[in-house]
Amino acid sequence: MNDDFMGIIAPHPPIMVAEVGGRDSSVTSASTAAMAAAADIAARFSPDVIVLMSPHAPYADDAFAIDDSPRTAGDLGRFGAPMPHLSCMGDPALAKAIAQAARTLSIPTVMRSSMPRLEPGTLDHAAIVPLSFISRDCAWPIVELSLTWLPLQIHRAFGQAVRSAAAMLGRRTLFLASGDCSHRLTTGAPAGYDPHGIEFDRLLVDILERGDYEALQTIDPLLIEAAGECGLRSFVTLGGFLDGLGTRTEVLSYEGPWGVGYLTAVAASPELLSELSTPARGRKGGFAGQTESAPVAFARRVIDAYIRERRVIEPTSAEGLPDGTAGVFVSLHRGGELRGCIGTIAPTRSTLAEEIVYNAIQASTADPRFPSLTTGELDDLDISVDILHAPEPAEFADLDPRRFGVIVEADWRRGLLLPDLEGVDTAAEQVAIARRKAGIGPSEHVTLERFLVDRYS
CB distance 328 to 386 below 8 Å = yes
CA torsion angle for 113, 116, 120, 126 (degrees, to 10)?
-140
CB 118 within 8 A of CB 171: no
Per CATH, domain 5-273 is 1.10.260.40: no
Domain residue spans of the chain: 5-273, 294-456
What pLDDT does 371 receive?
87
Would you state the CATH architecture of domain 294-456? Answer: 2-Layer Sandwich (3.30)
Amino acid sitting at position 303: I
Q: What is the mean pLDDT of residues 371-392?
A: 91
Residue at 407: amino acid letter:
I
pLDDT of 237 reads 98
User: DSSP secondary structure string, 5-39?
Assistant: EEEEEE---GGGSHHHHGGGGGGGHHHHHHHHHHH
Output the pLDDT for position 7.
98
Query: Closest by alpha carbon to 154, among 64, 56, 250?
Result: 64
212, 249 Cβ separation under 8 angstroms: no
Mind listing the pLDDT tens digit for each residue in 137-148?
A: 999 999 999 999
Question: How far apart are the C-alpha atoms of 449 and 418, rounded to whole Å?
Answer: 12
pLDDT in tens, 13-62: 999 988 888 777 767 877 887 888 888 889 889 999 999 999 999 999 99
Q: Cα angle vertex 341, ends 314, 206, to 5°?
A: 105
Per residue in 145-167, pLDDT tens?
A: 999 999 999 999 999 999 999 99
Has this prediction a pTM greater than 0.85? no
Measured distance CA(442)–CA(431) in Å, rounded: 10
Which residue, among 147, 107, 121, 128, has the nearest Cα to 67 in the 3D structure? 121
pLDDT digits (tens, 9 = 90+) for 429-440: 999 888 888 888
